Amino acid sequence: ALKRMLNFNVPPVKNSTGEPVWKVLIYDRFGQDIISPLLSVKELRDMGITLHLLLHSDRDAIPDVPAVYFVMPTEENIDRMCQDLRNQLYESYYLNFISAISRSKLEDIANAAIGANAVTQVAKVFDQYLNFITLEDDMFILCNQNKELVSYRAINRPDITDTEMETIMDTIVDSLFCFFVTLGAIPIIRCSRGTAAEMVAVKLDKKLRENLRDARNSLFTGDTLGAGQFSFQRPLLVLVDRNIDLATPLHHTWTYQALVHDVLDFHLNRVNLEESAGTESSPAGARPKKKNKKSYDLTASDKFWQKHKGSPFPEVAESVQQELESYRAQEDEVKRLKSIMGIEGEDEGAISMLSDNTAKLTSAVSSLPELLEKKRLIDLHTNVATAVLEHIKTRKLDVYFEYEEKIMSKSTLDKSLLDMISDPDAGTPEDKMRLFLIYYMSSSQVPSEVDLEQYKKALLDAGCNLAPLSYVKQWKAFTKMASAPTSYGNTTPKPLGLFSRVMNTGSQFVMEGVKNLVLKQQNLPVTRILDNLMEMKSNP
């Protein structure tokens, strides 16, 4: 969909020999987040994008170049676009909105275009319905900018108003709707009752139905989809409320991708590392070196990442080591190839310049880039894995992982929780808090007040913030209430608005599911729900 948009909304022709039309791409932060995990700068250049700029940066006029805009239809974006039209920045304008634009905003643009005498320059206006971010072939997130606005906390704040709730739900629904439009399929929706998930489901259902009813303008029929995408195989969309399984996100992890996500700064497939500067090189009294920030992209084209992102960490470390050794064996080969070609230095640009010489050369030219790429990946994963290992060692994450697994699988604990919390060497305050919350959620008996005070004191001594505990305490009390089969008649005091409405219904099987969280993967609550739905079982 993005490539079609960058090609002025015409499907790109595969075998055209001609140069692409050179153009400028203007996006906002949302557009940037959608494009960056999918298209590299090189791929953009192949599509004819010479410049890519943020909408709200200072841009110079380039009067003889078409501009492709890819932005959210927000007030300030629209104002800025109208300003561009007035200032006659580009030759022609292709306006693409990430999410559908409202009638009134379209009229604003039209008025600006008339005022600026630029109606003929506005070539196309499109709703792209691309308001979601694709991280992998089968993994999507809804947003990256302002994601705290649609977070678990935002939905479960006790002081949330109904209008705020509506806005959050609409944001989520809009992204999901965009996703299905892009997919060209209409889902079968299942959700947990009486929760925020149900609100989303109802709204999404309504939106899909309204769109289908208007047959002329429906997004799911006709040529826009291309043949074959629209089939009778409908996907199943399961909407689940996070309260069903609150322990898993707190759990310390042990697989590569999850660890990177947990302990490093990892967003939109890019990991940012601070390189630890070597201490020995700086003379006494010198300023400490500024830490270098490095960022690495972990993408689908990275074979090592694809293969090992789900592996346990020790396995990953071993594999990096193996790769390194196999590369070292080939390194002499690289040196040999370079010397054949008469380039001793590191200048890789020169390699592509050489085209004469013998067959030896040809084979050298073809195998060198491959080896150099391999070297880059090995270096990348060596650095990332080392950074992860640092965290594991300093915070004793392996101990936490194992201990939490035991708590969740109800097996006997080899050392007391209190020892873990008060051990000054093990973990950050946050790690301790996560451990205790998991213990608290998973225990069938709530710890007695005396014990709880002891734990609290230990947590405070460790430097923890106890706010999460009081939330979870309330949460657990609600789920307890809900699991009793009594009906809430008029005897109980009025529940606290929406928060408790969401809490005390549909959540009793939260607690039942917690008992058997072993390393057997199929036992995560979400997975079990999905299994039941796919097999059309009757239990909730």
Look up residue 335 and give its amino acid: K
Question: Which region among 47-56, 171-180, 505-514, 523-532 has the lowest average model confidence (pLDDT)?
Answer: 505-514
* Confidence tier at 35 by pLDDT (50, 70, 90): very high
Q: What pLDDT is recorded for position 348?
A: 54
CATH superfamily of 256-276+292-342+357-395: Sec1/Munc18 (SM) protein, domain 3a (3.90.830.10)
Residue with tokens 């992860």: 388
Residue with tokens 């947590």: 459
pLDDT tens readout for residues 500-522: 333 333 322 232 222 222 343 44
What pLDDT sits at residue 93?
92
User: Mean pLDDT throughout 305-326?
Assistant: 85
Among the listed residues 468, 481, 519, 503, the one whose alpha carbon sits nearest the alpha carbon of residue 248:
519
In this structure, the strands spanning 62-71 and 23-27 are parallel
Residue 332's pLDDT is 75
Mean pLDDT of 290-302: 81
| 278 sits in which H/E element | none
3-state secondary structure of 9: coil
Please state, in angstroms and as integers, the Cα–Cα distance from residue 131 to each residue in 81, 237, 430, following that order.
Answer: 19, 17, 33
Can you give the C-alpha Rg of the chain in angstroms?
A: 28
**CATH fold group of domain 134-244:** Rossmann fold (3.40.50)
**What distances in angstroms separate CA 44 from CA 6, 49, 53, 133, 239, one per listed residue?**
9, 5, 12, 17, 35
Q: pLDDT band at 440, cuts 50/70/90?
A: confident
- Residue 194 one-letter amino acid: G
CATH number of 1-127: 3.40.50.2060
DSSP state letter for 438? H
- Give percent of the chain with pLDDT exceeding 90: 15
Q: Which of 103-117, 325-339, 349-363 has the lowest mean pLDDT?
A: 349-363
Q: Between residues 528 and 537, which one has the greater pLDDT? A: 528
According to the model, what pLDDT value does residue 52 have? 92
* Mean pLDDT rounded to a whole number for the chain: 78
**pLDDT for 32:** 92
360 falls in which pLDDT band (50, 70, 90)?
low
The pLDDT > 70 percentage for the chain reads 79
Q: What is the mean pLDDT of residues 309-328?
A: 84
pTM of the model: 0.79
Residue range 184-234, pLDDT digits in tens: 888 889 888 888 889 999 999 999 988 888 766 777 765 444 444 455 678
Residue 354 has pLDDT above 70, yes or no: no
